[in-house]
Amino acid sequence: MFRLSDRVLVLTSYLFEDVLDADFITFCSTLGADPDVIQGAGGNISIKNGDALCIKASGLWLKDAARKNTFVTVSRKEIVRRHRLRDENLHDLADASGLRPSIETGMHALLPHRFVVHVHCVESLALSAHRDAERAFAERLVSFRHVLVPPVRPGLPLALAVEEAMARQPDASVFVLMNHGLIVGSDTLEETRQTLNAVRDALALPVRSPSHAGTDLESLNDMNWHVPQDDFIHTVAADQETLRLVRQAPLYPDHVVFLGPIIPVAVDGECLSAAIERFERHHGFRPQWMVFPAQGVLTAPQNNVGEMAMLDALGRVGQRLRSSFRPLRTLPAGIIHDLTQWEAETYRKKISL
Ligand SMILES: [Zn+2]
């Protein structure tokens, strides 16, 4: 339902035909289609034009930008006003088709750059799990105007943390979000693209090849669950080093939102039904996927493409982790707790099909 109050200016995206041009849309869909950069409905991008802030809609996939309207336009001033009041409720800013602006709209509004892109690239997710991540980022990003942002919940806490980081380093164009991802801001699309690519190159880590599913996986599947056709998913279980490291996850917010707060791992020789029953008894909820060490991963039939994309990401991040990173910097417990209670994330997950 379209609503227009005297305080809230919700513009429609046709005003942005000039800036939502083919080059920009191609940039969005290319980024969104690269699972090393954005997974499922994660990540967001915005353009400013005067007071108008055109931003990716919550729950939609950037990779779909070329085939459907993926953006919502809001008043930047109104978003900043709400931020000052510590109000992150954006429900009433839904556009005529009911799309809400991204949960990170506050952060986008506060940044001064015309173009702001926020990604969950696997290089930054893996490196920020390093026990000495601050030093690792400082060494690799020495030639970039960058600043580190400590781990916080997405939404208002992230916007506040980015604001604080800007106060420390006003000319920053690269924001490293610990246990979360990256933000790159610039006044031109070309510079945004080049900076993002250069930062990703600087953060690149060696990647172990993913391991295939083991031959016993089918016989452990006594509930006819899904066997993913994706080696990055199976490698979470089949690569011993990866499993040893990722079972300490979650490392970043979208893992919690889409895959839950605990990695479900079967014990040796346990079949699927027994592993689920044991997990549920211990943790009080039913897992939607199960890791079989040295074999692979089985997923519940109700998993959607968003959850599968996040499992794939776990493998991509896991293949970049090393035992020498330990003890891993995982997502703080308070953030995990907040994420499991937050309505905005439940909404995002629900519509990200
Ligand atoms: Zn994010």
Could you tell me the residue range of the domain that residue 256 belongs to?
217-319+322-351
**Overall number of domains in the chain:** 2
Same domain, 191 and 233: no
**Residue 142 above 60 pLDDT?**
yes
CA of 106 to the centre of ligand 1 (A): 12
Structure confidence at residue 96 (pLDDT): 78
Instruction: Categorize the per-residue pLDDT at 303 as very low, low, confident or very high, splitting at 50, 70 and 90.
Output: confident
Domain shared by 98 and 245, yes or no:
no
As a whole number of angstroms, the distance between CA 117 and CA 31 comes to 10
In the predicted structure, residue 15 carries a pLDDT above the cut 60: no
209 in a domain, yes or no? Answer: no
pLDDT band at 63 (very low <50, low <70, confident <90, very high): very high
* Cα 140 to averaged position of ligand 1 atoms, centre (Å): 21
Ligand 1 center from residue 165 Cα (angstroms): 16
- 196 and 244 both lie in a single domain: no
Spacing, Cα 295 to ligand 1 middle (Å): 31
Distances (CA, A) of 92 to 89, 162, 313, 323: 8, 24, 32, 47
* CA of residue 267 to ligand 1 center, whole Å: 33
Expressed in angstroms and rounded, the spacing between residue 154 Cα and the centre of ligand 1 is 7
Q: Are both 254 and 299 inside the same structural domain?
A: yes
What mean pLDDT comes out for the span 21-35? 94
pLDDT, residue 12, reads: 44
Q: Ligand 1 centre from 125 Cα, in Å?
A: 11
pLDDT at 252 over 60: yes
Which pLDDT tens digit goes with each residue over 80-116? 999 999 999 888 887 878 899 999 999 999 999 999 9
CATH of the domain at 32: 3.40.225.10
Query: Residue 189: inside a domain, yes or no?
Result: yes
Residues 181 and 329 reside in one and the same domain: no
Residue 290 in domain = yes
Domain boundary at 203, 234, 264, which? 203
Q: What is the mean pLDDT of residues 109-128?
A: 98
The residue among 150, 172, 203 that closes a domain is 203
Whether residues 246 and 305 fall in one domain: yes
Mean pLDDT of the chain: 91
In a domain, residue 111? The reply is yes
Cα angle 16-19-20, degrees, rounded to a multiple of 5: 75
Inside any domain, residue 291? yes
Q: Is residue 118 part of a domain?
A: yes
The alpha carbon of 258 and the centre of ligand 1 are apart by a number of angstroms equal to 13
**Residues 52 and 132 both lie in one domain:** yes
Phi-psi region of 97 (alpha: psi -120 to 50; beta: other; left: phi over 0): alpha
- Asked if 198 and 225 sit in the same domain, the reply is no
The mean-pLDDT minimum among 11-20, 58-67, 260-269, 299-308 falls in 11-20
Helices (H), 89-171: 105-110, 122-127, 133-140, 156-168
Backbone φ and ψ for 57, nearest 5 degrees, come out as -75, 145
| Distance of CA 277 from the midpoint of ligand 1 (Å) | 33
Task: Compute the distance from residue 118 Cα to the ligand 1 centre, in Å.
Answer: 6
Percent of the chain whose predicted confidence (pLDDT) is above 90: 83
Which of 172, 203, 234 is the C-terminal boundary of a domain? 203
163-222, pLDDT tens digit by residue?
999 999 999 999 999 999 999 999 999 999 999 999 999 999 999 999 999 999 999 999
Between the CA of 152 and the centroid of ligand 1 the distance, in Å, is 11
In this predicted structure, the answer to whether residue 247 has a pLDDT above a threshold of 60 is: yes
CB within 8 Å of 268: residues ≥ 6 apart: 293
Q: Token pair of 29, please?
A: 């869909």
In a domain, 1, yes or no: no
DSSP letter for 303, please.
-
- 153 C-alpha vs ligand 1 centroid, how far in Å? 9
What's the mean pLDDT in 308-328? 97
Q: Say which range, 15-19, 51-55, 83-87, 330-334, has the weakest mean pLDDT.
A: 15-19
In this structure, are 95 and 229 located in the same domain?
Answer: no
Residues 106 and 154 in one domain: yes
For ligand 1, the distance from its centroid to the CA atom of residue 1, given in whole angstroms, is: 27
Q: 120 C-alpha vs ligand 1 centroid, how far in Å?
A: 6
210 domain-assigned = no
- Residue 119 CA to ligand 1 centre (angstroms): 6
Q: For the stretch 255-293, what's the b/e string if a residue is b when 16 or more beta carbons lie within 10 angstroms of its beta carbon?
A: bbbbbbbbbbbbeeebebeebbeebeeeeeeebbbbbbb
Residue 281 — very low, low, confident or very high, per pLDDT cuts 50/70/90? very high
User: Positive or negative, the Cα torsion across 55, 155, 307, 316?
Assistant: positive
Distance 174 CA to ligand 1 centre (A): 14
Instruction: Note whether 169 and 249 are same-domain residues.
Output: no
State the pLDDT confidence band at 249, using cuts at 50, 70 and 90. Answer: confident
Do 44 and 129 belong together in one domain? Answer: yes
The predicted structure's pLDDT at residue 351: 60
Distance CA 124, CA 338 (A): 22
Ligand 1 centroid to Cα of residue 150, in Å, is: 13
Query: Ligand 1 centroid to 190 CA: how many Å?
Result: 22
Least confident residue range of 51-55, 95-99, 123-127, 139-143 = 95-99
